[in-house]
Structures are given as structure tokens and as C-alpha cells.
Structure 1
Amino acid sequence: MDATSTALEAFSSSSPSNSSKHWKYDVFLSFRGEDTRKNFTDHLYCTLKDNRVNAYIDEKELPRGENISEELKQAIEQSRISVIVFSNRYADSTWCLEELEKIMECRSRGLGQMVLPIFYDVDPTHVRKQTGSFAEAFKTHEANFPEDNDKIKRWRSALFEAANLAGGNLKNIDGYEGKFVEKIVAEITRKLNNTCLHVATNPIGIDSHVKEVSNYLRVGGSDHDVRIIGILGMGGTGKTTIAKVIFNEFERSFQGKSFLSEVRKGDMVKLQNKLLCDILKPAKIKVTSVDEGTKKIKDKLGSVKVLVIFDDIDEEQLDKLAIKRESFGPGSRIIVTTRNERVLKILEVDGTCSPQTMSDKEALQLFCWHAFTEDHPNDEDYLELSKKFVEYCRGLPQALEVLGSYLRKRTKREWKSALKKLKRKPHRKIHEMLKISYDGLIDDEVKAIFLDISCFLIGMNKNYVVTILDGCDFDTEIGIGELHDRCLVSVDEGNNLIMHNLLRDMGREIVREKSPDITGKRSRLWDPEDVKEVLRSKSGTEKIEGLTLDLQESQQDSFSAEALEGMQGLRLLKLKDVNFKGPCKHLSKKLSLLCWPECPLKSMPQDFIQRNMVDIDLSRSRIEVWKDSDVALEKLKFLNLGGCNRLKRFPDFSKLPNLKKLILQDCKNLSKIFHSIVQLKNLEYLYLADCKLADRAIPEDLGGLSSLRVLDLRGNAFKGLPTLSHLSKLQTLQLSNCSKLLAIPDLPTNLEILQADECIALEKMPNFSEMLRMRELHLNHSPKLTEIIGLEMSLYSMTRIHMEGCTNLTAAFKEAIIQGWSANGNGGPFLPGNDSPSLLRRDKPKVEIISCLPFPKFVL
């Protein structure tokens, strides 16, 4: 690095900036016209203008000895940087010395004005010490101003002080003026652009995210690699704030930099021009069409090391802005903020930062800074109200900022009124901010899926929701995938659909806005008061696609069944403790979900069960007779009649060919399983617990249930069971509290969980020697059980065995178990000083074998 570069960088890192002061000019040029006006200074001025630097240059050539004008003094005062071009005869001009004195005076005021000395064909020592040509000039001045010695001293002092500042020397780059001008302009623009992007005064909770992105920027392969980093999240999570902090921290390390804000909704040609001009600086590169701009970016930026932030971008802008690694020079860093994860997949980013919602503590601090300009209100009432608003925002930074600012300087009564209003209607600014992601959905079907989830299906299993909405003729899997990509919905560890409360409220407000005054014309109804109003007035129309109403017992109300007849567009209907007077005839033929636990109807009206239904839940209802549909219910996947104690006539299962889950538990009138059940080739879950199933109540050929994964027979009165070994996909068998059960027959070898606690009559177990996938065995309190043949062969796959209360197990069986653990390479028993030996298996998770004495407790 040459001396000029070092000096200019020292200039760039020195001199405080004062972003609060308004500067009229970026640069003031001080020079001696006769020396440099038509060459160096003109080149410098033109290059500054090309780089969009607002430079002031005095075009006048005043007679020798004339004092500088008030206009010129004001120009110096209003310029952020003064560039002094010291030439060989600079000091000959009293005009220049007057300018210099004014420049140094302004600098001394500490208002953030900067001074950059440039030594053009002159030795800095001559300027500093006033020797050489500068000595000759001062001899003349001292002769011309014999009575004004103070003025001469001020000029000398100004020269000395200015020459000691970091600057540039033409001689240090071998006299190449073009290169010299480029270096000067680069440092000037760097310093001017070093006015940091505005970041929130109190950016609470972003430090960890900034650190994460910083690590992605630094860590990687070669220093010449181009790295692309993504910042992903729903609206309002602070993505732009994080990007601004990163830009402010790193921008000086790059040849070119640009921060393109709100790319998604910006004018593309303007964005292309800004990107090109920010990085290339000579503003003569100007494009007039998107195609031209894309080509220019590819052609011109491929050799420049850049830092570029593309803020709030979507798929449509990627190609237009040529966002790909080969578009930018070696060592470049590209950061994109987006609400659409697919953008990051297309770019194959090197790292993704996904800012989450804030903790309660951070959220309260951020809210209070905006509401009170401090992190904690002194008034206890305001503190309690603040906590309620924070709870409403659920850690979303922008919502906290919006509401905090909105409530600043308002009374407690106004705060309480605002909180009450938020429960009915979201804040408009927050709503619009979040709605951007919804508006970005171009498929009306995906929008419908989002509205269904936000109104009815939050917290439900994703696979279940896919099945229900597929029944509405939606392509739900890809629809939810798009919603997930756009951060409108997420999936938790249990595969349940999760949505931020404010996104939920945004979706519901979209529904309300479509028909703000006529409730019966809204597409979805979820608010109890709205639903009751529509049912009472019978004002529901075919526009209603979904409705839910859950009345507490104390609020039970009756409605006319006719209120449902107008809703022929209903796809989703969820009712609880709702009673209708009269027969519920002519339900919508579009119904996919009918969830009506504790239904008060004793019999189902004609056409109550529709062919489009996917899930029917009539659990704990008063229905006595199931009336089969005239046609097979091809779409029905879930049927829940659990707890229907009055049900005497059960469904003909042959008409439910695609049923996946059947719940008949606690049906006290169910004493026999109808043979038609074996035709359910797609059934995966069968719950028959706590019925009155005795011997021969279960069909012998259950092997027909070829897809069955879970069979629940708890609490029944049978003594024996049919052979279950043909259920090749069965994973869980539940037999607990079958107090008369004497023997468990042959089991499928792929069984993983067997629960048979409290089977007090159980004497015989099947051979376990081939049960090599068994993970859990629960046989608590089976006192007649003496052994389980072959159990030692299946121990390797076990994670838990419970045999408390198995008091008659033989010594040979217990010895075989201990040897079985040892044979599997798990070491011998460890006796910790009591009767309960422990075995430690180092190659698998903790396993517990628990039994009352004389069979000891094993912890493996």
C-alpha cells in the first residue's frame, strides 16, 4: 500500500461525522486557479460530480488582494468536507489563504467538518514550515501587510495545521493524476457514505442475530469466494434492522456497496440504476429498461468486490437484478432479506439467519422505549397495561414499536380503550405490514388454505389438515408448503401447524374486510357473537365456507335448524354444545369436516351424512341409530363415535372403504364388532376401548385390516383374542385392564409396543424370540404370569420394560433376562448396595426393567 493510500485511509477513519447537522454541500474545493483550475482541480471536480458528490467550486477569478465574499464563507461553513489543493504557488494568493483560515476555523468548532489536504507538485514540508516557494510568498505578504502581523501569523498557523492532517500526495503515486483523483474521490465518497444507515435508537434483541450473520460473512472457503447470506422471517421480525447494522459494520471493507430497500415493491429500473451507480459511482451508466439493467449488472459488477443488501426481495426480482454469485467480483458478500424461503433455496445461500420473536423481557423493554422513551415505566398501572400489550404482540418487534409509538403520551383510559379495540380488530399499520406476505400469494387456492388455517385449524396435525382440505378439492400439501416458505405458517416438532397470533388476526381481518357490515356474507365465521347473530337471524348465505361455535353449558342456546339451510357453501362445520330445533335437513353437500361432539340429535335426518365428508366427529352424542348413506363415502377418512352410549345401530363399514381412523371406544351398547370391519383395508387406527366386547365379539379374520398400525382393546371382557399375527403393520397393541384375558395369542413380529397392564388373569404370553422390533413392554400387575418365552432374544431393541407386580416369575426366566443383557455385550450386573442390580448399556438409550421383588429393578 502506497503512502497516499495510507494517508487517505487515515483521513477516512478520522474526523467525527455529525449526521444531525444539515450540510448544503458535500465538498468545498479550495485551490489556486492559475495553478490547477483547468487541469487537476477540474478533473477532481468533474469526477466528484460523476459520483453524485455535491461539490462547491468558486468559478470567479477575482483581482489580486480582494477579500473573500460572505457567500464563499457561507459555502465553507455549509460544506461537510473541505478539500485544499496545495500547489506550488498556492500561498501566493491571499484569497486562498483567507479561505484556508476560514476552513480551519470551521474545523476547530467541532461540528464534524472534515479537511483533506492534497499536495499537488509541492512538498508537504514546504507547506508545513513555509519554506521553498511558500517562503517567497510570505516575504511578499509581509511586505504588503507590514502593519497586520496577526493576519500573517494566522495564515502561517493555518498552513501548519492543515499540512499536518492526513491527506494525499501526487508524488507518492508517481505523478499519475488519473489514479490520484480516483483514490481521492473513493475516500471522499466512502466518508460521505459512512453516514450510517438509520437504525432504531434501541435495537433490542438483535445482537445474537447480527453476530450470526457476521459469522456467515466471515466464515467460508477462500477469501475470493462470493458468499450469499439469507435473513428469513415473517414481517416485522427485524430482518431489515439486522441488515442495516451489518451494512454499517462491514461496508468500509468493500470496493463498492449498496443497500437496496423494499426491493419487492420498488421500481425495477430505478433499483438497477441505484445498484450500478452506488458501486460504479460514475453516474453516466444509466439504464432505461429492465433487460438493459440486468445485462449491465452482469457485465459491469463481475470484477468488483461488493457488499450488497437486497432488502425484502421475492422470487420475481432475482433474475432482474442478476442476483447470483457470478454477477459479483471475488470476495463479494450478498445479503438478502425475505419473507419467502424459496428465494433462499433458489440462491443456494451459504447461511440463513431466521430471527424469532423476542423474549418477554426484551419485548417489554422495546415496547417501553417507544411508549415512554425508557425501558420501564415508573407508574405501576402503566406497567401492567404494557405487559398486556406485550402479550398481544407475542414478541414481534415491529408490532411492539408500532403500538408503543401509538400509545406514547396517551392517558390510561386511552390505553385501555386501545387494548379492547385490538381484541376486535388489529391495528391498521400492523395489519398492512403483515398482509404483504398474504398479498404475495398469487394462487387464490393457497390464500383460501391460509384463511382456513387462521380461522379454524391452528394447532392441528399437518397431515390431518392436508387430508381435510384435500377433501375440499385443494392441493393442500403444496399449498401449505408455499405458506411455510412465506413464513405464514410453521410446523412444530409434533408436526402441528403453528401460526403467530398476529398473522392469525391478519387472516381473520381479511375475511371481515370482505363484508364488514353483513356478517352472513363473510366466508368464514369464528367469533361466537357473530355466529350466534347469523344463526338467530337465519342470515347465513352460501358465501359461508366455514363456521365454528363452542358454547359453554351455561351459555347453551337453541337455534332453528333452518339457519343452516342457507349455508350451502359450507366446507368446515365445528359445533360444540349447540342445539338446533327441528330436523337438520339439507346440510351443505360440500361439507368436508363435520365436528359436532355432544350432538343433541337422537337420529340422523336423511342426507345428514354427505359423500364429500372426510371427518365426522359425533363423539358423546345422543344419536341412537346410524343411517348409512345410499352411496359409499369414498372420501371419509376419520369417524369418531366414541362415547355414543345410546348408539344401537352402527355403520356398515363396507360403505366406508377409505377409512383411516375409527373411534368406537366407550360405546356401551357395542358388544360385537360387525364382520364388515375387516373390509377396511386402509384402516390405520382402531379404538375399541371400554366397550362390552366379550368372547367371540371380535372377528377371527382381523388380518384383513392390512394397514392397521394401532389397535386399542383396553378395558374389555374377553378371555381370549383371535390370532393377530397377520396384522403385518401393527405397531401398538393396547390390552390394559382386560381383567378376564387369559392368554395373548401370536403377535405380528413387527410389533413395537405392547401395553397389557392390570391383566390380572393373564397366564400365557406368545413366544418373543422373533419380536426383534419390540421397544416397550408393559405388563404391570399380572401376578399369574410366570415367564415370557424368548424374551431374552428381543432385549436388544427394548427401551423399556415394566413388570411391577409380576410376583410369580420363575428364577430361570429372571436368570435368562440377565444373561440376555450380558450376551448382547452390555456387561454384567452392577449391585449398588441393595437388592436392585443395574445394567448399563453404553450403545443405546436408557432402558428400564421394573418389577417388584423377587424380580429386581433393572436400569439399563
Structure 2
Amino acid sequence: MDNSNRFPQINLQYQVGNSARALLVLDDVWTLSVLEQLLVKIPGCKILVVSRLKFPPSVIDCSYEMNLLTENEAMSLFCHFAFGQTSIPLSADKELVKQVVDECKRLPLALKVIGASLKGQSEMFWTSAKNRLSRGQPLSESHELQLLERMKLSIDNLSEKQRECFLDLGAFPEDKRIPLDILINMWVELHDMYEEEAFAVLVELSDKNLLTLVKDARAGDKYSSYYEISVFQHDVLRDLAIHLCNLEGINQRRRLLMPRREEGLPKEWERNVDEPFNARVISIHTGAMTEMDWLQMDCPKTEVLVLNFSSPEYSLPPFLEKMPKLRALILINYSTSNAVLHNTSIFSHLTNLRSLWFEKISLPILPQTTTPLKSLQKVSLVLCDINKTINHSVIGLPHLFPRLSELTMDHCINLTELPPSICQMQTLTSLSVTNCDSLQKLPSDLEKLCSLQILRLSACPNLKKLPEGSGSLVRLKYLDVSQCVNMGCLPKGIGGCESLEKIDMRECPQIRSLPLSVGLLLSLKRVVCDEEVSLLWKDMEKVRPGLCQVPQECFTLDWLDE
């Protein structure tokens, strides 16, 4: 291949009989342009292309996605390079070998490189290697260079934006699913992208097998929430992202990342607090943190802060007040119980914050003196206990979030009703209250949400009806009441939702009739419902064929992995 990625003309000739066949294998193909130069049409010749990329059907007749190796296959491959045989020799420490293989995460390249680097080494060296791998550290400089040199081929062909987004994935813990909502918000703020562009980059990274998309059964149409899609990345690819982020000096890095959970902040950070940290992204993963546990860090350029922790109590870092450019704050608690937050007064300094994600947090009662977050546009509360905040705080939501456009509450504990003040949020375009088992009531004057376009209320089993005012949401385009199993009816005046394009009402068995005003829904294009409910729409389907969509039942046990 020359410097412009062009291949010289190849003359493939062979002397065969009429009935002979041949197989041409093109291994390790990295770009579509290269593949198009290599594809040849020879009678009786089949071409097998091996690549990390997903090529379009217009180029490849059929594709087969390989799974990761099984545990037995991984062990066999590792032993081949470590011992020159396909099983563990009697002289080796069987348990130690298994632990090292487990750290390779069934990735063939890691098994090959790490196995070869341990060949002929002492048991003490093996033990040290296992410990270093478990901490996310290379066995040695040569092992690291071999592995990363091979892996970085995955990165060399990325565009600048794809590369930057790939490196951002190192900010999240290993073996954890990342809600797509978090990544989209992060990339919009960091890389000046529109949401659609950020999603396109994610799909491109998935096509290159640099991450895996995990979709909810209903994800895919234009009203799908990004929360319904999550991202999973192989540990070795995550380690590659972190390694590439760490090539610069600690104070000059654009991303300051903790590769593994530690009890406190890294000693390396502590040794460099005398100078400002120039990172645009900072990711921290610890246990419990009190105000005294934090370092006095100066972070004038930080735009995204990811705080991962496992603890029932957590104090927000004082250095937040030295982050004048902070635009996205992500706070995720991985412990079994909700965490109580301390030092919440620090929010008064976050004047440029635009996106906030809280997961498994008990939100405090807000005093009257709480400073409004005037730049905040998106708030996501997942698995949070927000009842005290809503029912006992003196301050109202419109005062606290005067420009909020999207509010998401998912799996929120003890949430029985939404506060009436929520209806004063004139800028709100999307309201999602989903999987809230205790929710029984919505505010009566919901129609005051004059900008609302999306209303998601799925999987709220104790919600029996919508307020009549919701039939006057003239800008509403999407209504989701799916899996509200005790929902008895739609609002009588729903015909006033003149912009409504889609209703999702699957698994609502108590709905046995429709209000007459549904005939006024001239913009309605799709109703997703069960077969029994679809019969209620048959008169409208006569004039709008294909209005109803009856989805196939889809059950998954993926949540057991969480």
C-alpha cells in the first residue's frame, strides 16, 4: 500500500478446471475504501473479510458477528502463548493462571500478548502481573507497548471527533453500563455537537466494535429516550482510552481519570495540587468522602465532572467552586442504599451548569436561600429519594430551575405525587416520570406547561388517570402511558392536544373505551397498544390505515446483570 492508502494493481490469476473453487481471505481490513480496492470478481472465488468494522450490505453479501471467546477457549489460547500447550501444565499454579486469564476478559489480543509476556517467568512475577492487571496497570513497558500498539490501530482510523468521544469513555467504571443520556449530554457540552450528531458518532464507534449498544425493546423511533439505550465497553478498550489520556503530564491532561476505585484521591494528584489542572473532563471513583478528604484542586478549564462512589454518605468536593466552566455534573452512587449528600451549598457557585445527573441519591430539603441555577437545562434523577425535596422544601422548582427544558425522574423512591409548582415551569419541553411505583397523582393544572412536547409516564402502576387539563397541551407531540396497568382512561378532552403525533398505551388493560374527542387528533400518526385496545381505534383506522401498531411481547432478563 502506498502513502495515500492505494493498493497497486493486483493481477490474480490461477489455472484451474471449470469445477474448481477458491477462497480469498482478506484479514484485518480497517476501512471501507481499502476493502473496495481489494474486492475482486473471479468465477468460483469466494471472499472472506475479517474486520472490526461493520460494512454495509451493499458491499458485503452477509456478515457474521463473532462473540467473545468462551472461558475454555480463552484458557486454551492463553496457555498456547504462555506454556506452548493448550492447557495448564501440572507445574503451574492453576488458580493463579486462572486469575490472570480472567483479567484478560476473554479478548484474544490481550490473551496472546499477556500470555507471551509471562512465558518462562517465575511464580513471583506471575503474582505481581496478576496484581498489576487487577489495578489496570501494564505488566511491563514491553507488554504495554505490544498490546497498545496493536489496539491503537482501532484508533488511528477514527476522525478527530470520534477519537475524542472514544477517549471520553474512560471516565466511567469498568463493567458498568453507561446510560446513553449521560454520554449525549457530555458530548454536546464538550464537543459543540447537536444531539443527533453525538448519537451518530456513537453508532459509528459501535460499528467499529469500540463499544456495544444495549437497547431497550422500545428504543429506536424518534421519540425514544436516550435513557432507553445504554453503552458497554470492553475493559481492554477502556484501558486503552485511559492510557492514551495519560500520555501528557498530569496537570496538562485534557482528561484526568481514575482507572479504578480507590478509598481517596490518587497520590499523584496530591503531589501536583500546587499548579492548576487543565483537564476538561475529571472522573473520580472513591468510597465515602468527607469535606476533609478532598484536595484543594484548582480546575479552571473543567467542563464535565463525573463523581462515581460507593457509600451511604458523600460530601461534594469543595473544589467545585473553582470550576467556573463546569457544564455537566454526573453523580452516580454504586452502593446498595441511597446516599445522603453533604455540602450542597456548593451549587451556588455552578452558574454555568447545564446538565445534572443524580443516581441513587437522597436529595436534601432545600432552604429558601438556595441560589437558582439559571443555566441548567437538563435534570435526570434516577433511583433517587426525592420525596423530602419535593414536599418539604421551601423553595419551588420554577425558582430553582428557571430555564429547565428536560426533567427526568426514573425509579424514584416514595414519589407519590408531583408538586403543583412544576406546572409553572414554562420552558419545560420534556417531562419523564417513569417506573415510579408509588406515583398516584399528577397536578391538576398540567395544561400550564405550555411548551411541553413529550410526556412520559410509563410503568407507574398506581397512576389511575391523567388530569383533564392534560387534554389542553397544545404542543404535546408524544404521550407515553405504557405499563400503567391501572390507568382507566385517557382524558375526555384529549382532542385538544392538536399536535399529538404518537401515543404509547401498551399494557394498559384497564382502558376499555376511548373519549369521543380522539377523533379531533388530526396530527396523530401512531398508536402503540395491545391487540384488545387496538379494537377501540378501529373506526379511526378506517380513515388512517396502519394507525395502530401492536408490538410483539418482548421479555428480557438483562436487568439481572445490573
Could you state the TM-score of these two structures normalised by the residue count of structure 2?
0.68
Match of 1:730 among 479, 487, 491: 479
Q: What are the Cα deviations for residues 137-163 of structure 1, in whole angstroms up to 9, with x where unaligned?
A: xxxxxxxxxxxxxxxxxxxxxxxxxxx
Alignment partner, residue 395 of structure 2: 649
Alignment partner, residue 94 of structure 2: 383
Q: What are the Cα deviations for residues 63-87 of structure 1, in whole angstroms up to 9, with x where unaligned?
A: xxxxxxxxxxxxxxxxxxxxxxxxx
Structure 1 residue 401 displacement after superposition: 2.5
Structure 1 residue 600 displacement after superposition: 0.6
Report the residue type matching 1:730 in the other structure.
L
Query: Matches of residues 116-131 of structure 1 in structure 2 within 5 Å?
Result: none
1:498 and 2:232 matched: yes
Match of 2:188 among 465, 470, 474: 470
Structure 1 residue 347 displacement after superposition: 6.8
Alignment partner, residue 559 of structure 2: none
Going from structure 1 to structure 2, the CA distance change for 1:393 and 1:603 (only over 3 Å counts) comes to same
Going from structure 1 to structure 2, the CA distance change for 1:689 and 1:272 (only over 3 Å counts) comes to closer
Alignment partner, residue 154 of structure 2: 437
- Contact 1:710–1:732 (Cα < 8 Å) also in 2: yes
Match of 2:133 among 408, 412, 422: 422
Match of 2:256 among 524, 532, 537: 524
Query: Matches of residues 144-543 of structure 1 in structure 2 within 5 Å?
Result: 272=8, 275-276=10-11, 279=13, 308-315=24-31, 318=34, 322-325=37-40, 328-341=41-54, 344-345=55-56, 348-379=59-90, 382-423=93-134, 424-426=136-138, 427-428=143-144, 429-441=146-158, 443-456=159-172, 459-472=177-190, 473-474=192-193, 475-494=197-216, 495-515=229-249, 518=250, 521=253, 523-527=255-259, 528-529=261-262, 531-533=265-267, 536=270, 538=273, 541-543=276-278
Going from structure 1 to structure 2, the CA distance change for 1:307 and 1:508 (only over 3 Å counts) comes to same
Structure 1 residue 751 displacement after superposition: 4.9
Determine the C-alpha separation between the residues in 2 that align with 1:648 and 1:546: 34
Q: Secondary structure at the match of 1:466?
A: helix
Alignment partner, residue 547 of structure 1: 282
Alignment partner, residue 708 of structure 1: 455
Alignment partner, residue 315 of structure 2: 579
Structure 1 residue 437 displacement after superposition: 0.9
Alignment partner, residue 794 of structure 1: 533
Q: What are the Cα deviations for residues 428-478 of structure 1, in whole angstroms up to 9, with x where unaligned?
A: 22222111111222x333212101113327622335422331122244233
Alignment partner, residue 224 of structure 2: none
Structure 1 residue 752 displacement after superposition: 1.2
Report the residue type matching 1:482 in the other structure.
E
Determine the C-alpha separation between the residues in 2 that align with 1:505 and 1:396: 13
1:603 and 2:338 matched: no
Alignment partner, residue 761 of structure 1: none
Query: Matches of residues 626-665 of structure 1 in structure 2 within 5 Å?
Result: 627=370, 629=372, 631-633=374-376, 635-636=377-378, 638=380, 642-644=384-386, 645=388, 647-652=393-398, 655-662=402-409, 665=412
Moved more, 475-484 or 310-319: 310-319
Structure 1 residue 622 displacement after superposition: 3.1
Q: What are the Cα deviations for residues 743-787 of structure 1, in whole angstroms up to 9, with x where unaligned?
A: 87737694515679xxxxxxxx775256995757xxxxxxxxxxx
Going from structure 1 to structure 2, the CA distance change for 1:656 and 1:663 (only over 3 Å counts) comes to farther
Alignment partner, residue 620 of structure 1: 362
Going from structure 1 to structure 2, the CA distance change for 1:408 and 1:628 (only over 3 Å counts) comes to same
Determine the C-alpha separation between the residues in 1 that align with 2:124 and 2:71: 24
Q: Secondary structure at the match of 2:283?
A: strand
Going from structure 1 to structure 2, the CA distance change for 1:383 and 1:567 (only over 3 Å counts) comes to farther
- Contact 2:489–2:513 (Cα < 8 Å) also in 1: no
Structure 1 residue 358 displacement after superposition: 0.8
Q: Secondary structure at the match of 1:363?
A: helix
- Contact 1:725–1:746 (Cα < 8 Å) also in 2: yes
Report the residue type matching 2:245 in the other structure.
V
Determine the C-alpha separation between the residues in 2 that align with 1:793 and 1:436: 54
Q: Secondary structure at the match of 2:67?
A: coil
Determine the C-alpha separation between the residues in 2 that align with 1:309 and 1:766: 58
Going from structure 1 to structure 2, the CA distance change for 1:497 and 1:580 (only over 3 Å counts) comes to closer
Q: Would you say how many aligned residue pairs link Structure 1 and Structure 2?
A: 475
Determine the C-alpha separation between the residues in 1 that align with 2:118 and 2:404: 59
Q: Secondary structure at the match of 1:479?
A: helix
Going from structure 1 to structure 2, the CA distance change for 1:479 and 1:535 (only over 3 Å counts) comes to same
Structure 1 residue 353 displacement after superposition: 3.6
Structure 1 residue 640 displacement after superposition: 6.2
Determine the C-alpha separation between the residues in 1 that align with 2:147 and 2:318: 45
Going from structure 1 to structure 2, the CA distance change for 1:623 and 1:496 (only over 3 Å counts) comes to same
Determine the C-alpha separation between the residues in 2 that align with 1:560 and 1:403: 37
Q: Secondary structure at the match of 1:708?
A: strand
Structure 1 residue 348 displacement after superposition: 0.7
Match of 2:291 among 532, 535, 558: 558
- Contact 1:578–1:599 (Cα < 8 Å) also in 2: yes
Report the residue type matching 2:119 in the other structure.
R
Determine the C-alpha separation between the residues in 2 that align with 1:754 and 1:485: 34
Report the residue type matching 1:323 in the other structure.
L
Which one has the largest radius of gyration?
A: 1
- Contact 1:773–1:797 (Cα < 8 Å) also in 2: no
Structure 1 residue 549 displacement after superposition: 3.0
Report the residue type matching 1:315 in the other structure.
T
- Contact 1:710–1:731 (Cα < 8 Å) also in 2: yes
Could you state the TM-score of these two structures normalised by the residue count of structure 1?
0.47
1:699 and 2:445 matched: yes
Match of 1:752 among 499, 505, 508: 505
User: For the aligned residues, what is the CA RMSD?
Assistant: 4.7
Alignment partner, residue 327 of structure 2: 591
Structure 1 unaligned segments of length 5 or more: list them. Answer: 1-262, 282-304, 757-764, 777-791, 799-842, 848-860
Structure 1 residue 422 displacement after superposition: 2.0
Structure 2 unaligned segments of length 5 or more: list them. Answer: 16-20, 217-228, 333-338, 496-502, 519-525, 538-549, 555-562
Going from structure 1 to structure 2, the CA distance change for 1:680 and 1:349 (only over 3 Å counts) comes to same
Determine the C-alpha separation between the residues in 2 that align with 1:623 and 1:658: 23
Determine the C-alpha separation between the residues in 2 that align with 1:368 and 1:459: 31
1:569 and 2:285 matched: no
Structure 1 residue 480 displacement after superposition: 2.0
Determine the C-alpha separation between the residues in 1 that align with 2:317 and 2:29: 54
Q: What are the Cα deviations for residues 103-149 of structure 1, in whole angstroms up to 9, with x where unaligned?
A: xxxxxxxxxxxxxxxxxxxxxxxxxxxxxxxxxxxxxxxxxxxxxxx
Determine the C-alpha separation between the residues in 1 that align with 2:208 and 2:270: 39
Identity, % of aligned positions: 16
- Contact 2:24–2:46 (Cα < 8 Å) also in 1: yes
Determine the C-alpha separation between the residues in 2 that align with 1:395 and 1:618: 31
Of structures 1 and 2, the one with the larger relative CO (CA 8 A, separation 6+) is 2
Determine the C-alpha separation between the residues in 2 that align with 1:479 and 1:844: 29
